[in-house]
Structure 1
Amino acid sequence: MTYILLYVDDIILTMSSNVLLQSIMSFLAAEFAMKDLGPLSYFLGIAVTQHASGLFLCQHKYAEEIIELADMTSCKHATTLVDNKAKLSVSSGSPYEGPTHYRSLAGTLQYLTFFRPDISYAVQ
């Protein structure tokens, strides 16, 4: 069995046999510039840890990178995500300097909701 996951210039190859894996890697290396980074550990913001029972996927590091990008490392965390009855006001914090930075943060948070659907309401 063979699985090939491809996203832009990142690729994950997994096969049922190491011989098949080496064969496909050689074939691809003849056509494309590639380098083998070894066993999968981090891909598209997802940390991957292999256990006997399967794979453990985690986005803790990715979430921390978002907090740094938003310059919110000194903020206190909350045990609940958001008060859904709270009213936002124009004066509740300083705006981001440009729409590009805001859009980037919104996009990274939306990507994070694929693994954490419980934060979807807060991200919207």
Structure 2
Amino acid sequence: MKLPPGFRDKGETRVCRLQKSLYGLKQAPRCWFAKLAHSLRAYGFTQSRSDHSFFVYTKREVRLRILIYIDDLIISGTSHQDIQIFKDYLSTCFNMKDLGPVKYFLGLEVAKSETGIYLCQRKYASDIVAEVGLLGCRPAGSPIDQNHILAKSESAYLADPETYRRLVGRLIYLAATRPDLAYSIHVLSQFMNKPQVEHWLAALKVVRYLKGTIGQGILLRAGTPKHVTGWCDSGWGGCPLSRRSCTGWIVQFGDSPISWRTQKQDTVSRSSAEAEYRAMVDLTAELRGL
């Protein structure tokens, strides 16, 4: 480390001490989050262990929830008055700007109506289609072929695997509001190490499917029944290489989907019944964790 110009030290034994972290320094995000978290804890918030960017405040009938991304915050609560009191507190700690009701956050578009809250990633999906160059393509009717054998592909390896990895990575984030893509993304993500031409063509079919379903998302219905329901299924021995089965489940709060997943089972099931029971175990673990 060199001393700044104009500073003279005969012994050359002194160094600089960081007084304040600004944008551009790698210490800045950690210092900012530490200061924000300290202010939230001082108000009475508790930090979630599963997601450190999620804070919860509960006191008598007052409930507040905060989701943080760098310096952007989504605040929700039981009443507008409680939220405003908390905003006034934050204004005394930071120079903050209130952008009003959430409409767009990290690629998620939020639309509110009397029916409920509709979440989609229309612009994000459009950017994916445009980046691949398929804006003028004919939409596909399904995201992936039903009886595919991608795991046994003998096609040539891609010369530039980074393009495939970038596309699949963007599709993984798109699955936050698209349960219909869970299985196809699960299959494509298995070939990130050495993607082949056939895998790339399968990924392009997912993009062609997006072309016809860009505005599709999930609806969190208003006035929905307050009960949780889980649905699960499995495909026995679906992987032609490991013979492991595939589990798929979705959880609904009333009529609204809130959690879903498709994954390969850890062990080989010796019967279709065993595969179904393993799927039920995974779903039960998810329900108990809600």
Q: TM-score of the superposition, structure 2-length normalised?
A: 0.36
Q: Which residue of 2 aligns with 1:64?
A: 126
Match of 1:109 among 159, 167, 171: 171
Q: Deviations over 1:2-40 (max 9, x none)?
A: 221222332111223333222211222333342111111
The aligned residue for residue 36 of structure 1 is: 98
> What is residue 24 of structure 1 aligned with on the other side?
86
Instruction: Answer yes or no: is the 8 Å Cα contact 1:46–1:58 preserved in 2.
Output: yes
Q: Unaligned 5+ residue runs, structure 1?
A: none
Question: How many residues were matched structurally?
Answer: 120
* C-alpha contact 1:69 1:105 (8 A) present in aligned 2: no
Judging changes above 3 Å, is the alpha-carbon distance between structure 1 residues 10 and 50 closer, same or farther for their aligned structure 2 residues? same
Q: Give the structure 1 partner of residue 182 of structure 2.
A: 120
Q: Give the distance between the partners of 2:143 and 2:184, measured in 1 at CA.
A: 7
SS of the equivalent of 2:110 reads strand
Determine which of 80, 93, 96 is the counterpart of 2:142: 80
Unaligned regions of 5+ residues in structure 2, if any?
A: 1-62, 189-290
Deviation at 1:86, TM superposition (A): 5.9
How far residue 78 of structure 1 moved from its aligned partner, in angstroms, is 0.5
Instruction: State how far apart, in whole Å, the 2-side matches of 1:28 and 1:69 are.
Output: 39
Identity of aligned residues (%): 38
Shift of 1:102: 4.2
Kindly report the root-mean-square deviation, in angstroms, between the aligned alpha carbons of the 2 structures. Answer: 2.6
Alpha-carbon contact 1:5-1:13 (below 8 Å) kept: yes
TM-score by length of 1: 0.75
Query: Are 1:90 and 2:156 an aligned pair?
Result: yes
2:110 to 29, 33, 48: 48
AA of the residue aligned to 1:117: P
Structure index of larger Rg: 2
Residue type at the aligned position of 2:183: Y
The Cα offsets for residues 21-70 of structure 1, whole Å up to 9 and x where unpaired, read as 22211222333342111111111221111122421112222211221233
